[in-house]
């Protein structure tokens, strides 16, 4: 696949991921409340796991072709996970005087996203080994 084709896949995936982020944020705000950025937290955690899983399988095997891996990781996960929203929402908490919630958001999001990305890599390795 040429560069333009890969770019189109990434753009399409980004649109899908952004739409999913919007939906998850709305559902989270309605279900959990709007006093904390639950939607961004959820998509960052889920996206971190999925990007670890997909990258591990895609890089170590031929199960996921490069074009599909780009579509899923750079495209969908890139649109879904959003540290720009995370940063903005954390600073809004700080500006609102909610320093405790801001620090909880920073520490828990960072630690949990790293942990689930590690789990995604581990799950990818297990799936690849089970297939072999």
Please check whether residue 90 is in contact with residue 106, taking contact to mean a CB–CB distance below 8 angstroms.
Answer: yes
- The per-residue pLDDT of the chain, averaged, comes to 93
CA dist list (Å): 27 to 20, 32, 38, 39: 11, 8, 10, 8
Query: pLDDT grade, residue 82 (50/70/90)?
Result: confident
Q: What is the CA radius of gyration of the chain?
A: 16
pLDDT above 80: residue 124: yes
Closest CA to 1 of 70, 47, 52, 57: 70
Q: For the segment 10-51, what is each residue's pLDDT rounded down to a tens digit?
A: 999 999 999 999 999 999 999 999 999 999 999 999 999 999
Report if pTM > 0.85.
Answer: no
Long-range contacts made by residues 124-131, C-beta under 8 angstroms, separation at least 24? 124/52, 124/53, 124/54, 124/55, 124/56, 124/57, 124/60, 125/56, 125/60, 127/53, 127/57, 128/56, 128/57, 128/60, 128/61, 128/63, 131/61, 131/63
């Amino acid at each position: 696949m040429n560069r333009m084709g890969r770019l189109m896949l990434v753009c399409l995936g980004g649109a899908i991921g952004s739409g999913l982020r919007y939906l998850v944020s709305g559902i989270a705000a309605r279900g959990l409340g709007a006093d904390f950025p639950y939607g961004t937290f959820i998509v960052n955690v889920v996206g971190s796991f999925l990007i670890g899983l997909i990258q591990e399988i895609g890089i170590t095997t031929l199960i996921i072709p490069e074009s599909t891996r780009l579509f899923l990781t750079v495209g969908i996960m890139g649109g879904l996970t959003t540290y720009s929203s995370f940063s903005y929402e954390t600073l809004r908490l700080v500006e609102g005087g909610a320093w405790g919630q801001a620090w909880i958001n920073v520490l828990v999001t960072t630690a949990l996203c790293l942990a689930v990305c590690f789990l995604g890599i581990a799950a990818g390795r297990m799936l690849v080994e089970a297939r072999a």
